[in-house]
Structure 1
Amino acid sequence: MKMHFCIPVSQQRPDTLGGRYVLYSVYLDGFLFCRVRYSQLHRWNEQLRRVFGNCLPPFPPKYYLAMTTSMADERRDQLEQYLQNVPMDPNVLRSDVFVDFLKLLQLDTFNITTKKSFLDIFLPDGRSIKVEILTSDTAERILEVVSHRIGLCQELLGYFSLFLIQLHKEDKLSVLKKMADFELPYVSLQSSEVENCKVGLRKWYMDPSLDARLMDCRVAGELIYLQAIQDIEKEWAKPTPAQREKLEVLQKEDNQTKFLVLSREVHHYGYMQLDPCICDYPEPGCEAVVSVGNDQISCCITLPDNKTQDVVFQMNKVKCWQVTFLGTVLDMDGPLRTLNQNLELRFKYSEDSRCQWVVFYTKQAFLLSNCLKKMITEKMVKLAAENPEMQIEVPEQGKSKRSHIQQNQQKDYFSFLPRKSKISIKVAEDDCVFGTIKEEDL
């Protein structure tokens, strides 16, 4: 499936020869990832083609005359599609020529040199592990360092990931994004302007039954045990009074195995909960708390009359979804910071022989999209296990356990639609938004 790359804005800059060039701001999962010139991407594409041949998506052609505004818009859209489609080939995604180029871009964009440093990795119980890293270490590399430090079995790395998390008052937290394997956590943390932003280690699977695969590893079992406690304390998982009483006894006894077995019976155990947002179901303007997991999108909806309604959307009835940018306020003269994050995720839901679009207006639209993709991936893997004739790629599940993919088995459920609209130009502050503006690209 496509990655959440977007090029919301670009800016003309003077070059050393008196001419001008266009600098594209590339965002990943709603956060500024890097800034890059067309010429840099063009050289990168040539390097990739020398390694992988013509299996790559088409790259926007060079223009030898000045471009019109419409041509500039078309080029930006084409570059965006290229960045979204290139990582769909897992061989490209894991290659040195892919990763090294993006690493260099991230470092150069934020003027960070490669050097030794320390990074705090937060665990679900609030403790942190300080690890020595290079500022150019990827999330994949740092996860390996952390796993070695705590004794996590290497073959289980694919069940965990690094996340950007935000700590709030009253001991609440928000998961902002899952870090891509090629992302540089040190750079992302330094460049993020989100208050109280941390790098956290969390499990990364949406099917609670997968807990059983981790229980033979003491460290893996302890990690999911700590996260289960955290999710219950933060009311992401919602035990009944009787379940809570039993769980408290098991926690005092430190009986992790029985605690996790009972936890799997708890409502919303293993789900990812988003911050409160707005939805248009069952009517526009409803407030909603969305929890995603176990092949479901579960919503606690507050209606305009303040009555609440629990609604569950089954993933096998979700036909597709898209993330759309609704507009923002941008600073064209400054460092291209963005002020507001106005995103929607809408999915097409089929039930009782009729289809409808359900819309969530949430800053965590890309995190929600990643969770939906993960649930579909896990479902495909489960189907492949039940039907050995199917060959399906197992993404993010560890390099030692890959199987080949048949392209005709893949379905692209996701799309990103940057909405074309006029956008106000004002001084901006934040770096966590997607946008679409017009630019002159010579």
Structure 2
Amino acid sequence: MHVTIPFTQDLVDSFGSRYVLYSLYLEGFLFCKVRYSDLHKWNEKLRRQFGKSVPPFPRKFYLAMTNSMAEERRFQLERYLQSVGANPIISSSELFVCYFKNLQMDTFGIEEQKANLDIYLPNGRKIRIDVQTSDSAERVLEIVAHKLDLHRELTGYFSVFVLQHHSTVLKRVVDFELPYVTLHGMNNGSLTLEVRKWYMDPSLDKVLFDSPASVTLLYLQALQEIDRRWARPTNEQLGKLESLEKSGNYTKFLELMQDVQQYGCIQLDLCTMDHPEPDCEVLVSVGNGELHCCVKLSNNTTKDIAFKVNMIRCWQVTFLGADLEDRKPPDDQKLELRFEYNAAGTWKWIVIYTKQAFLLSSCLKKMFSEELLKHTKDSLEMQIEVPDFTKARTSSKSHRLVVPFGKSTERSKISPRSNINGPFPEITEEDL
């Protein structure tokens, strides 16, 4: 979860007292506005419930703040909220979720009431669901899963995303975030909500093969990736995929997709990078353990560069400049993601300038977590021994396996079909 406070406002209340209003951005977009005093009261409640697990709260100033003091407080509040949000026990609590639900609704002037919300599938099909404006992304996903006959235990492999023009992925909607309010707050008629898989390791597809609804969702997204040229099958692979599509064998289709270049990746819009030379135009695809960059050089040639995630030491996202207003459209956001990479034994900082920097950071975090879980599982499997029942029973340690829970030659001729076999076509618009 990326929480930032890039902007503040100096205001005067009805009693003539001056105060600062902090603009909280979640995953790069305005989430809510809040006063220091309100956060302080909330912190006191957190400390009563969670004790020392709550990080220190920025201290009060009893005299007028200088500019440097105000900047220090802004930075400390940002760090505090990031730390609180990183604690899964706190961030999943009712005290946390309800507080930010109310803040988000109050900031955008949304009342709690019944509403319709349109959720799209990767093939462009719209599902209209009945929700409360206060329903979280987690709740919205559960409603959609019920409509699609997707087992509740599998929803963790999917998530709700905000897309622009049905093609540019802008952000993942965080579980406690309110999709209805988020869409309203972003104030852009070209934005839609779409259900997509939320893992960066394509090999995890096989975990979902026993679920017809999951297979259908994965299949639709695979078609979308080919159609947009995010995934790039060879001519031979394309012929086999077309044959499997016609036969309706979606599981085999997905198994073959495992070998397709850049399958399962999210491709960013065209952006710029400072490597291997300044101001290069670049198409960035993230997934399957790497950042794949197709770079256009100053001599009009192109070069493919793959940055392996396990060679990245750290990264950070930065807002560039202070001219971003709360309601500006995403296209005007000035962001950069810089990462430190080990190339041939030498550490080097590489910078990507993209409005999707927070999405890119989320994908990097997801890949790191999947790699960590994979190594943990492999390590634990090596430690498991077959018990010797011939020996006397003694107390022994048990090992618990950790399972991950939600890793071109020509334009594809494959296009999404509305009459595919599976659970989704049985649902009519009237049923929804």
User: Which of the five TM-score ranges fits, normalised by the shorter chain?
Assistant: 0.7 to 0.9
Gaps of 5+ in 2: 384-398, 407-432
Cα shift readout 1:363-384 (whole Å, capped 9, x = no counterpart): 0000000000000000011011
Match of 1:366 in 2: 358
Instruction: Name the CA distance, whole Å, in 1 between partners of 2:146 and 2:334.
Output: 39
Cα shift readout 1:351-399 (whole Å, capped 9, x = no counterpart): 32111111110000000000000000000110111112798988974xx
Larger deviation: 211-220 or 313-322? 313-322
What displacement does 1:195 show?
4.2
What displacement does 1:254 show?
1.5
Instruction: Name the CA distance, whole Å, in 1 between partners of 2:352 and 2:142.
Output: 35
Q: Which amino acid aligns with 2:142?
A: E
Within 5 Å, give how 1:217-236 maps onto structure 2: 217-236=211-230
What displacement does 1:220 show?
0.5
Instruction: Name the CA distance, whole Å, in 1 between partners of 2:305 and 2:286.
Output: 12
Structure 1 runs of 4+ aligned residues shifted over 6 Å read 389-396
Determine whether 1:270 maps to 2:268: no
Residue 379 (structure 1) aligned to one of 368, 371, 376 = 371
Residue 3 (structure 2) aligned to one of 5, 8, 20 = 5
Asked if structure 2 preserves the Cα contact closer than 8 Å seen for 1:290 and 1:300, the reply is yes
- Aligned residues: percent identity? 53
Instruction: Name the CA distance, whole Å, in 1 between partners of 2:324 and 2:266.
Output: 31
Determine whether 1:209 maps to 2:203: yes
Match of 2:134 in 1: 136
Instruction: Name the CA distance, whole Å, in 1 between partners of 2:40 and 2:401.
Output: 32
What displacement does 1:193 show?
2.9
What displacement does 1:212 show?
0.3
Cα shift readout 1:226-278 (whole Å, capped 9, x = no counterpart): 00011001100001111111111211221101111111111101011111110
What displacement does 1:283 show?
0.6
Determine whether 1:18 maps to 2:10: no
Instruction: Name the CA distance, whole Å, in 1 between partners of 2:232 and 2:5.
Output: 39
Report the secondary structure of 1:324's partner residue.
Answer: strand
Within 5 Å, give how 1:403-414 maps onto structure 2: none
Cα shift readout 1:390-439 (whole Å, capped 9, x = no counterpart): 98988974xxxxxxxxxxxxxxxxxxxxxxxxxxxxxxxxxxxxxxxxxx
Residue 93 (structure 1) aligned to one of 77, 88, 91 = 91
Asked if structure 1 preserves the Cα contact closer than 8 Å seen for 2:90 and 2:96, the reply is yes
Cα shift readout 1:190-209 (whole Å, capped 9, x = no counterpart): 11133410010000001010
Would you say how many aligned residue pairs link Structure 1 and Structure 2? 387
Larger deviation: 108-117 or 253-262? 253-262
Within 5 Å, give how 1:120-135 maps onto structure 2: 120-135=118-133
Q: Cα distance 1:392–1:288, how it changes in 2: closer, same or farther (>3 A)?
A: farther
Q: Which amino acid aligns with 1:261?
A: E
Larger deviation: 103-112 or 150-159? 150-159
Gaps of 5+ in 1: 398-442
Larger RCO: Structure 1 or Structure 2 (Cα < 8 Å, ≥ 6 residues apart)? 1
Report the secondary structure of 1:247's partner residue.
Answer: helix
Asked if structure 2 preserves the Cα contact closer than 8 Å seen for 1:329 and 1:338, the reply is no
Instruction: Name the CA distance, whole Å, in 2 between partners of 1:330 and 1:144.
Output: 35
Instruction: Name the CA distance, whole Å, in 1 between partners of 2:32 and 2:200.
Output: 30
Determine whether 1:295 maps to 2:289: yes
Asked if structure 2 preserves the Cα contact closer than 8 Å seen for 1:328 and 1:342, the reply is no
Within 5 Å, give how 1:418-433 maps onto structure 2: none
Within 5 Å, give how 1:324-403 maps onto structure 2: 324-330=318-324, 336-338=326-328, 340-388=332-380, 397=406
Determine whether 1:307 maps to 2:301: yes
Which TM-score applies when normalising by structure 1?
0.85
Residue 56 (structure 1) aligned to one of 54, 57, 66 = 54
Asked if structure 2 preserves the Cα contact closer than 8 Å seen for 1:380 and 1:392, the reply is no
Instruction: Name the CA distance, whole Å, in 1 between partners of 2:133 and 2:71.
Output: 34
Instruction: Name the CA distance, whole Å, in 1 between partners of 2:5 and 2:335.
Output: 15
Determine whether 1:241 maps to 2:239: no
Which one has the largest radius of gyration? 2
Instruction: Name the CA distance, whole Å, in 2 between partners of 1:394 and 1:66.
Output: 52
